Amino acid sequence: MIKLYPVKIHTIFKSIFNKWIWSFNTDTKEIYLTFDDGPIPEITPWVLSILEKHNAKATFFCIGDNVRKNPEILNQIINKGHRVGNHTYNHLKGWNTNTKEYIENTLKAEEWLPTHNKKLFRPPYGKITNKQSKEILKLNYTIVMWDVLSADFDKNLSAESCIKNVLQNIQKGSIVVFHDSIKAFPRLKETLPKVLEELSKRGYCFKEIS
C-alpha cells in the first residue's frame, strides 16, 4: 500500500519552510520525542511511565479540549518534567479551516495550557496555510514540525513497521512524532518501548523541546 505521507522529511522541504522547526542541528546523540493529541486517561499515563523507565523527556502537543477534560493528566506531564505545546482546541485541520477560526481555536487551547516564555505550536495533521502560519508566529509561537514520523496513527501499519520508520530514519537532533491517542495505541504500545530501548543502546538521550 502506498503511503500518503513522508516518514522522513527531506532537507529541501525543510529549507523551503524554514520558519518552522523540523529538527535540531547538533553533534550530540540526542532525540526529541513528541506526542500529539493527548492527554488521554487510557494512554498518556502509560506513556509517562515508559518515558520515566528510560529517563526520557518529551514534548506533548496537547489538544485543548482534552486538557479541559483531563487537567490532572496535564499536571502529571508537567510534574514529571516534560514540555507542553499547543495542538489547537479541537484538532483542526488548517487547510479546511478559515484563518480567523483557526487562530481563535488556538487561543482557546492556550487558555488551558501552562505559560512558557517560549510557546510551542504544532498544527494538527501538519497542515497549516501560509496565512495561518504567519498569524501563529505573530502570537510568538514557535511552530514545531518533525523530521521522523512513526506513523503510529496508521491502522494499516504494523507496530514493526512503525519501529522501522523510527529506527531507520533517526539521526542526531531528530524530532520524532508519536501519538498518545486511542487510535494509535495498538501500535504505540509495542513501538515506544522498543524504540526507547534500542536508541538507548545506541547511546541516544531523549530531551524535551525547550
Question: What are 73-122's pLDDT values in tens digits?
Answer: 999 999 999 999 999 999 999 999 999 999 999 999 999 999 887 999 99
Q: What's the topology of domain 11-206?
A: TIM Barrel (3.20.20)
Nearest to 158 by CA among 202, 190, 195, 126: 190
pLDDT at 127 over 80: yes
Indicate the pTM of the whole model.
Answer: 0.95
Looking at 87, 91, 179, 180, which residue is catalytic? 179
Active site residue 179: yes
Is residue 36 flagged as an active site residue?
yes
Residue 90, C-alpha cell as written in the block? 479541537
For residues 8 and 148, the answer to whether their CB atoms sit within 8 Å is: yes
Q: Which of 36, 147, 152, 154 is catalytic?
A: 36
Q: Can you give the C-alpha Rg of the chain in angstroms?
A: 16
Angle, vertex CA 15, rays to CA 153 and CA 102, nearest 5: 55
The beta strand positions in 50-209, using DSSP E, are 58-62, 83-86, 119-121, 141-143, 148-149, 175-179, 205-206
Q: What angle do CA 39, 42, 45 make, to 5 degrees?
A: 60
- Looking at residue 1, what is its pLDDT? 45
